[in-house]
Amino acid sequence: MDTVTFLKLTLRNPSVFLIIFGSCFISPNLFSRDENNPTPDQFSDVRRVKEPILLLAGDTVHVVATATPDSICAGASSQLLATVTGGTGPYTFSWTPVTGLDNPGIANPVASPTITTRYHVSVVDADSHTGIDSTLVRIIPTPDSPGTINGPSVVCDDSSADYSIQNVPGANSYSWTVPSGTQILSGQNTTEIVVRWGENDGNISVIAGNQCGNSNPSVLAVTITGLPPQPATILGPAQVCNSATVIYSVNPLVPEATSYFWTVPPDAAIVSGQSSDSIFVHWGANAGNIGVVAINSCGTSSPRNRAIGLETLPEPAGSITGNDTVCSNYEEYTYTVPVIPGATSYVWASPPGTTITSGSGTNTVVIKIDPAAISGPVTVEGNNTCGSGTPGFKNISVKICAGISEHGKETGIAVFPNPAEGVLNLTIANEGNKIKLQIMDAMGQIVYSESLYNIPVEYTHKIDVSGFSRGMYFLEMVSDTRLVIKKIILH
């Protein structure tokens, strides 16, 4: 403990103040009313003091300046007061700065500063002794805007979300507002709230406040979204082939959807595109439903389903009905196959030298037999998008038949006698260098065949028919330019 000893203190004024800072003990012998007559009994107890002790001579002016309240809002006032101790009155007061003071020359002016201000006071007593002090009047600012609101800007209707801000210096309250139909579940008047959203878009805002007012608001625009609507249409084939790969897609695209989920029958497989608006599907061996839902952050739409049928190859073609034997003189013949289950069209084929003149693609065709036609099969198979089925066929034999009309221009050709017996004469004029001759009986059997070469411009050829049976025959002559058939009678 430090000890301070006052050897002798002569006072002109009995009012004496001793200033000692810190904790100390005061000796009972510290004070005397008269140095020649000390009365220590008056201070019989040693006192421990912790407050400053002011020791002043009587001619010293001490002033203490205060402001009540010392912190005010802009536009409010504070009561200043200069409390004087010591010196000799009357006192003169002078406050500076004078801005915002109602009367700077009194002990207790009213201060109405616009900014935080320290006011100084000077006090002069009757003996021109001076005391000075100062006091600070602080202007309490309104809080700054809270800044960024943290939380989702896109939310689902009828969902909860958290929103928060940082603490605002100087704020002691927070006021949040939300759109109509939206409810603040908890946190009002704090920096974090829990909101239950309704169906309306709108702004969420917050202001910070204190005793002097409120800040400008911070605002976050929030968009409400819901479950995506049901996909409208699934595009793609209504019938698919076994083991075919086909494309299905959503049309139009679903608003607010961020992805899609597809389902297919158990034995089908999605090759690619799952989660997108179109998929490739490798189909199985069974019909079934294909389905799709739209997805976003709020959930899943109701599904759109479409029944898909299974299309297989057409069944094998049945028996073809029509002539087995045909005549090679431009005659036309009709051929029919029974309706083939699963077929959407029919594919026909006929031997060389024949022509399908009508009915292509149906189950009935008309085939024209040209003179140069050869024997062979007529075939037909059912067809659909999956391919062709097993064909049916019918073999036809091409003949030069009895009972048919003579054919071909006869200019330069003559046959005599007709009827004939023994020898048949054939006159030929300007027919070229090569001619093939055939004679057929009424059954279409060839009984005579010969080829002629280097034929003169005018030529008569004799044919021995003496060995032929009586009856009707057909003489066929084929040159480089034409075909001529003549009916002949042999006796």
> What was the pLDDT predicted at 331?
77
Provide the mean pLDDT of the chain. 85
pLDDT at 455: 83
For residue 237, the model assigns a pLDDT of: 94
What pLDDT digit, counting tens, does each position of 308-352 carry?
999 889 999 999 999 888 887 767 899 999 999 999 999 999 999
Phi-psi region at 467: left, alpha or beta (left = phi > 0; alpha = psi -120 to 50): alpha
CATH architecture for the domain at 413-490: Sandwich (2.60)
pLDDT in the model for residue 330: 64
Question: How many angstroms separate the CA atoms of 160 and 175, rounded?
Answer: 19
Q: How far apart, in whole angstroms, are the C-alpha atoms of residue 35 and residue 28?
A: 14
Strands 218-225 and 154-156: parallel
Phi, psi angle pair for 424, to nearest 5°: -115, 125
pLDDT of residue 401: 61
> Among candidates 62, 40, 46, 57, which has minimal Cα distance to 3?
46
Domain 233-311 is found in CATH 3.40.1390.20: no
pLDDT, tens digit, 9 for 90 and up, residues 359-407: 999 999 999 988 778 889 999 999 998 999 999 999 998 887 644 444 4
What confidence score (pLDDT) does residue 1 get?
37
Average pLDDT over residues 97-117: 96
Alpha-carbon dihedral 228, 229, 234, 235, rounded to 10 degrees: -80
Banded pLDDT at 154 (limits 50, 70, 90): very high
Task: Select 154-225's CATH number: 2.102.10.10, 2.70.70.10, 2.60.40.10, 1.10.10.60.
Answer: 2.60.40.10
Domain ranges of the chain: 61-140, 154-225, 233-311, 325-399, 413-490
What is the CB-side half-sphere exposure of residue 13 using CA atoms within 13 A? Answer: 12
Residue 395 is which amino acid?
N
> 């009905």: which residue's tokens?
321
Question: Of 177 and 28, which is predicted with more confidence?
Answer: 177
137: helix, strand or coil? strand
Query: Is the pLDDT score of 24 beyond 80?
Result: no
| Region 61-140: CATH code | 2.60.40.10
* Cβ neighbours around 443 below 10 Å, total: 10
Percent share of the chain, pLDDT over 90: 63
Residue 8 has pLDDT above 70, yes or no: no
Q: Which pLDDT belongs to residue 444?
A: 72
CATH dotted code for 325-399: 2.60.40.10
| pLDDT of the residue at 328 | 76
The answer to whether residue 126 scores a pLDDT higher than 60 is yes
Planar angle of CA 70, 73, 76, nearest 5 degrees: 85
For range 145-166, the mean pLDDT? 95
- At 59 the pLDDT is 59
Q: Could you tell me the pTM of the whole model?
A: 0.51
Residue 90, preceding peptide bond in cis (omega within 30° of 0): yes
Compute φ and ψ for 11, nearest 5 degrees: -115, 135
pLDDT at 20: 40
What is the phi/psi pair of residue 41, to 5°?
A: -60, -25
Q: What is the mean pLDDT of residues 448-456?
A: 88
- Rounded to an integer, the average pLDDT of 228-252 is 94
Residue 436 has φ and ψ, to the nearest 5°, of: -105, 130
Which single residue is written with the structure tokens 């507002």? 177
Compute the average pLDDT of residues 413-441: 85
Residue 23 contacts residue 44 (beta carbons within 8 Å): no
Q: Which has more confidence, 387 or 411?
A: 387
